[in-house]
C-alpha cells in the first residue's frame, strides 16, 4: 500500500473548507509534544481517504487553569478566532476545529510551515524606527541598555491587529506570527481571547490611534452583520452570549472611532515575554 498523500501546501491554504473537513473527520495520530507550549500541545498527523496533513491537537484536559478565563474553554476560543478570521475574508488563522481525539475533546489546527528568514520584528538602536517599521516600545536588553522594539509596517500585520482588537486577544506574541513561503501570514495561539473585559495585549501597537484603512472599515461592517447572522450562530456553540455581545460591542466601537485602538492603561499592553 502506498503511503498516504500529503496535502500540498497550496491546497491546504487555498481550500480551508477541505482542510477543516480533514481535521474534523480524519484519523488523528499523535507524533510528539510541543514542549514550549504552556498548555498541552501535541504534534499530530490527520489522515482520511489517502490524504494526510500535519496538525496541532490541544486537548481540553491539558489546559492550564487561568484566573480570568473559565476552565475548559480555551480550545473553543481558538476555534471561535478561526471562525471570525474566516468571516473577515482575510484568512489569518489556520483551519481550526473542535473534535474528539486520543485525549478527549480538543482543538485541532492545521500545521503551518514557516519561512524563518521573514523579519517581522526587530530590536534597533535609536528612538525612532526606520521607514518600513513601526515602533512598539523600548525594551531592556541587559547591561543597562535599552533598544527600540519595532514591527514591520506590513499590511498583513495591520489586518491581524484589527482581528486581534475584535477578538480581544490577550497574548499576541512574536512567536505567534507565522509567515509562509507563499507570502501569507497566519496568527496562532488564540486561547485567551473573547473575554468580556478589555484584555488586548499585543506587539502590534504600531498603528495605535491611526485611522483604519478603508478595507478594514468595510470588513468590520460586514463582520458586524455576520455577528447577527450565521457567524453569531456558530459562535454560540463556542462562546457565551455575553462574550458574543462583547464582540459585537468591540466591532461597533472600532467602526464608531474609525481608528485602531490604543492601550487602555488598565492592563499590560505588551505580553511578556514578547516573543
pLDDT band at 15 (very low <50, low <70, confident <90, very high): low
Smallest CA-to-CA distance from 82 within 14, 174, 165, 16 is with 16
The model's pTM is: 0.92
Instruction: Give φ, ψ of 35 to 5 degrees.
Output: -70, -25
In this predicted structure, the answer to whether residue 38 has a pLDDT above a threshold of 50 is yes
Q: Which helix (H) or strand (E) holds 22?
A: helix 16-25
- State pLDDT tens for residues 134-153: 999 888 777 778 889 999 99
pLDDT band at 117 (very low <50, low <70, confident <90, very high): low
The more confident residue out of 269 and 6 is: 269
State the DSSP code for 148.
E
Cα(96)–Cα(55) distance, rounded to whole angstroms?
A: 9
Residues in the chain: 275
Domain ranges for the chain, please list them.
Answer: 5-110
Smallest CA-to-CA distance from 260 within 188, 123, 164, 190 is with 164
Q: How distant is the alpha carbon of residue 24 from its chain centre?
A: 19
Question: Mean pLDDT, to the nearest integer, of 28-42?
Answer: 93
How much is the pLDDT for 158? 98
Class in CATH terms, 5-110: alpha beta
Contacts of 208 (CB under 8 A, 6+ apart): 260, 261, 262, 263
Cα(186)–Cα(56) distance, rounded to whole angstroms?
A: 14
How much is the pLDDT for 17? 83
In this predicted structure, the answer to whether residue 14 has a pLDDT above a threshold of 80 is no
- State pLDDT tens for residues 74-85: 999 999 999 999
Amino acid at each position: 500500500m502506498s503511503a498516504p498523500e500529503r496535502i500540498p501546501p497550496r491546497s491546504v491554504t487555498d481550500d480551508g473548507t477541505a482542510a477543516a473537513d480533514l481535521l474534523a473527520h480524519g484519523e488523528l495520530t499523535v507524533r510528539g509534544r510541543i514542549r514550549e507550549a504552556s498548555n498541552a500541545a501535541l504534534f499530530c498527523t490527520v489522515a482520511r481517504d489517502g490524504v494526510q496533513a500535519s496538525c496541532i491537537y490541544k486537548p481540553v484536559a491539558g489546559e492550564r487553569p487561568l484566573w480570568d478565563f473559565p476552565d475548559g474553554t480555551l480550545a473553543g476560543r481558538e476555534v471561535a478566532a478561526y471562525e471570525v478570521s474566516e468571516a473577515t475574508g482575510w484568512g489569518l488563522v489556520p483551519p481550526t476545529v473542535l473534535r474528539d481525539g486520543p485525549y478527549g475533546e480538543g482543538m485541532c489546527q492545521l500545521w503551518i510551515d514557516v519561512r524563518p528568514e521573514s523579519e517581522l520584528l526587530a530590536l534597533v538602536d535609536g528612538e525612532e524606527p526606520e521607514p518600513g517599521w513601526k515602533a512598539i516600545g523600548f525594551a531592556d536588553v541587559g547591561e543597562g541598555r535599552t533598544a527600540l522594539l519595532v514591527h514591520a509596517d506590513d499590511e498583513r500585520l495591520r489586518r491581524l491587529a484589527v482581528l486581534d482588537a475584535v477578538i480581544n486577544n490577550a497574548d499576541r506574541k512574536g512567536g505567534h506570527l507565522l509567515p509562509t513561503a507563499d507570502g501569507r501570514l497566519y496568527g496562532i495561539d488564540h486561547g485567551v481571547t473573547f473575554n468580556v473585559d478589555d484584555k488586548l495585549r499585543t506587539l502590534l501597537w504600531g498603528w495605535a490611534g491611526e485611522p483604519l484603512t478603508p478595507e478594514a472599515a468595510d470588513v468590520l461592517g460586514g463582520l458586524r452583520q455576520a455577528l447577527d447572522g450565521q457567524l453569531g450562530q456558530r459562535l454560540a456553540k463556542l462562546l457565551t452570549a455575553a462574550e458574543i455581545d462583547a464582540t459585537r460591542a468591540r466591532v461597533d466601537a472600532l467602526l464608531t472611532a474609525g481608528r485602531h485602538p490604543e492601550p487602555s492603561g488598565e492592563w499590560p499592553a505588551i505580553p511578556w515575554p514578547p516573543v
